Amino acid sequence: MQPSNRVLITGITGTLGTQLTKYLLETYEDDIEIVGISRDEQKQNSFMVQDHRVKLKLADIRNKDSLYRAAMGQVWEGYDCIFHLAALKCAPQLEDNPHEAIATNITGTENILDMARELQSRVCFTSSDKAVYPVNIYGMTKAVGEKLVLADPINVVCRYGNVLGSRGSILPSLVKSLRLHKKAHITDPEMTRFWLPIEDVAAFVATQGMDGEGGLHIPPHMQSSAVKDLIHATAELLNIPAFELENIGVRPGEKMHEHLETRYENGHRDISSGDIERLVSKDGIKEIIRGSVCTL
Q: Which positions are catalytic?
A: 130
Task: Report whether 112 contacts 84 (CB < 8 A).
Answer: yes
Closest to 202 measured CA to CA, from 79, 292, 89, 112: 292
